[in-house]
Structure 1
Amino acid sequence: MVTEVQWDNPASLLKLDQVSKVYGEGETEVTALHPITLDVKEGEFIGIVGPSGSGKSTLLSIAGALLSPSKGNIYISDQNITSLSEKEMTDIRLRKIGFIFQFANLVPFLTVKEQLLYIAKLKGEDKKEASKFAEQLLKTFGLGHRMNHYPNQLSGGEKQRVAIARAFMNNPDLILADEPTASLDSKRAREVVELMKQEVKKNKKAAIMITHDEKMLDVCDRILTLRDGKLLRENEV
């Protein structure tokens, strides 16, 4: 079970202020995302559901500074990142955001520990400190005995846990997960999601998880629904 942690006046780690996304112009114009306002606080683990093509991945890409909105503003830890240069956006992604995808996408020629250390190398962190932190994360995710193994020596669940540990390696404020359990059986999926939430709560992060797996929704603090590019109110179905 995940231990719930509460704080007074938790900080906002992600704010979307009337953010929308439109592709094309005139007769070819398609609205992928209607104006959305969302505030995600530290310690929150939010689930987003909705049918395919509802705008979930677009929303996650905008929140993760991978895609620029057509209108509106994006704030990460109260910093408006909407108009930053591509170089500055890359720096935000490296320092502030951790990504988890449906497939682990591990580098086949790197060991489990090296997968994490590569992130630290990109940030230019001290090697000794990075090594200690990587080992700590891997132990937290039950991978202490797998540090020197390669991806082809891991099970599917272990690979995904490596991917999650890697997402936490840059000590991000915000974790964004796109169908992180789609390739796992229900038991492993549950373990992975609860581990994610545990780290979010313990370290005052925030997380958004897109999922089609209704069995994972009870782990979430809030469940938001997207339909036709519109974010429904939390009591709407």
Structure 2
Amino acid sequence: MTLTMKNISKSYQDGDQVVEVLKNVSLEVAQGEFVAIVGPSGAGKSTFLSIAGALLSPTVGEITIGGTELSNLSNKALTEIRLEKVGFIFQGANLIPYLNVRDQLLLIAELAGHRGSEAKQKADTLLSELGLTARQHNYPESLSGGEKQRVAIARSLMNNPDVILADEPTASLDASRGHKVVQMIAEEVKRNNKAAIMVTHDERVLDLVDRVVRIEDGHLRG
């Protein structure tokens, strides 16, 4: 399994009370599998995704990404995991306003210590696959919402991650563009044997995933 979450719980101290956000949840996502997490607001979806991507540590439980168990890793090692093994697609594209499309991708490679012609070739290949070659020198302010999300997808794939995590990737898009964006993620999952989790409220894109898991009151069902 590329991503394994085993007996994960997450709680916070809120004054005198302990708030349990996740309650002993487990999930395995295989290579080439695209899983959607659905559920009401406040159910723990964003917390779950943050833990899956090593942005947040669980109170209890184990996470394994690409064969690496995370619980005893240093902060520096966790940063390397996030850069090299996890590709994030956030609700808003979160592009850097002063970088053009191509440089958005090259920055990710540079942060991971990958420079030179190989990184440039990877960026150009991704931009071509996602229909962005003609926009590679444009800045975010001149891109449509759909184009920004495609750049975000390309950026998330820049370091060939084992795991893709998407947080409400269709939130700012109309139905047609949203469906196309999720279809692109699904195609990447199959083409390059990635494991992917998408948190979504958008039931119109659930036909594109392999499995739907519901989160409610801190528990996973599905």
Question: So what's the TM-score if we normalise by structure 1?
Answer: 0.92
1:205 has 2:205 as partner: no
Provide the C-alpha distance between the structure 1 equivalents of 2:168 and 2:124, rounded to a whole number of angstroms: 26
Distance 1:123 1:216 in 2: 32
In 1, the alpha carbon distance for the partners of 2:195 and 2:6 equals: 17
- 1:124: Cα distance to partner? 1.2
Worse-matched range after superposition: 52-61 or 77-86: 77-86
CA deviation digits over 1:54-103, x for unaligned, max 9? 01111101000011111110001121111211111101000000101111
What per-residue deviation string (whole Å, max 9, x for no partner) do you get for residues 95-126 of structure 1? Answer: 00010111111111111000000001111113
Mark the CA change 1:26 to 1:112 in structure 2 (over 3 Å): closer, same or farther: closer
- Please show how residues 1-237 of structure 1 align to structure 2 within 5 Å: 12-24=1-13, 27-232=16-221, 234=222
Q: State how far apart, in whole Å, the 2-side matches of 1:24 and 1:106 are.
A: 33
Deviation at 1:25, TM superposition (A): 7.5
Task: List structure 1 runs of 4+ shifted beyond 6 angstroms.
Answer: none
CA distance in 2 between partners of 1:104 and 1:217 (Å): 21
State how far apart, in whole Å, the 2-side matches of 1:73 and 1:117 are: 32
When the two chains are superposed, the root-mean-square deviation of aligned CA atoms in Å is 1.1
CA–CA separation in structure 1 for the residues paired with 2:217 and 2:14:
19
> What is the aligned-residue identity percentage?
55
Distance 1:55 1:188 in 2: 27
Corresponding residue SS for 2:2: strand
Q: Which residue of 2 aligns with 1:5?
A: none
Deviation, structure 1 residue 48? 0.5
Question: Using a 3 Å threshold, how does the CA distance of structure 1 residues 106 and 26 change in structure 2: closer, same or farther?
Answer: closer
Q: How many residues were matched structurally?
A: 222
Residues 142 and 22 of structure 1: is their aligned pair in 2 closer, same or farther, counting only changes over 3 Å? same
- The AA in structure 1 aligned to 2:6 is D
- Give, in whole Å, the separation in 1 of the partners of 2:87 and 2:67: 17
Task: Deviation per CA, 1:149-206: give whole Å up to 9, x if none.
Answer: 1111111100110011000001100000000110000010011000011011100111
Say which is worse superposed, 79-88 or 46-55, in terms of deviation. 79-88
User: 1: distance between equivalents of 2:6 and 2:76?
Assistant: 23
Take 1:150 and 1:66, find their aligned partners in 2: how far apart are those partners? 28
The SS at the match of 1:118 is: helix
Structure 2 segments unaligned to the other structure (5+ residues) = none
Q: In structure 1, what residue type is equivalent to 2:8?
A: V
